[in-house]
């Protein structure tokens, strides 16, 4: 069970790092330099796939962590 949790956590880290960078610099977030940060844009293609896989792996990580905690 712990091995599956370790594999999921490594995959989750890798997928989060693969996601597109919405703000290229942290100072743009603080100063408001990136006006497109919260715009309503749709993900398409590989971005959508990576987002959905990240969501599924995050949910699996939560469930496995909860199961390990209970047992």
Q: How confident is residue 31, by pLDDT bands cut at 50, 70 and 90?
A: low
List CB contacts of 64: < 8 A, sequence separation 6 or more.
1, 4, 5, 8
- Tell me if 55 is assigned to some domain: yes
Mean pLDDT of 10-25: 79
- Higher-confidence residue of 59 and 39: namely 59
Distances (CA, A) of 1 to 52, 61, 68, 70: 23, 11, 7, 12
Which residue range is the domain that position 65 belongs to? Answer: 1-16+46-71
Q: Using the CB atoms, write b or e for 55-64: b if 16+ within 10 Å.
A: eebeeebeeb
In total, how many domains does the chain have? 1
- Tell me if 50 is assigned to some domain: yes
What percent of the chain has a predicted confidence (pLDDT) above 70?
66
């Amino acid at each position: 069970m712990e091995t599956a949790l370790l594999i999921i956590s490594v995959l989750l880290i890798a997928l989060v790092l693969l996601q597109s960078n919405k703000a290229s610099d942290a100072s743009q977030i603080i100063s408001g330099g990136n006006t497109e940060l919260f715009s309503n844009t749709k993900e398409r293609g590989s971005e959508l796939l990576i987002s959905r896989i990240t969501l599924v792996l995050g949910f699996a990580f939560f469930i496995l962590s909860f199961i390990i905690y209970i047992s």
